[in-house]
Amino acid sequence: MTEESYPVSEVTLEALEGTPLQHEAIRRMVVATAEAVAARQGVRIVQINTSTSSITIQVVGEEIVAIGLIAELRRLTTNWYEHKFGVGRLWGSGPN
């Protein structure tokens, strides 16, 4: 099976409240973490889009691959955000 025959799956994380990704440093950290997680897991990112309150990632692979990547991204960035800003949660209820 060639890479072109794999599906592309998309997942989105929405901020729990506000627009934290409007801040360049926070947005860069979230995107860099997504790229690092993908590299560690051997997942190819097709595209990353951010808004002021969300990140959407498209990956090559089944939906379970995308969910695994976003779950790890959520865990790592929530931990970082909590320690950096003293706020318990960055993201809402889960991957969409």
- The position carrying tokens 């809402």 is 92
Cβ burial, residue 6 (10 Å; 0-12/13-18/19+): middle
CB atoms within 10 A of CB 82: 13
Output phi, psi for 27, to 5 deg. -60, -45
**Domains of the chain as residue ranges with CATH:** 3-80 (3.30.70.1290)
- Residue 12: strand pairing partners: 56
Dump pLDDT digits (tens) for 18-33: 999 999 999 999 999 9
Alpha carbons 48 and 55: distance in angstroms, whole number: 7
Tell which residue, 73, 72, 49, 48, has the closest CA to residue 59. 48
Dump pLDDT digits (tens) for 24-63: 999 999 999 999 999 999 999 999 999 999 999 999 999 9
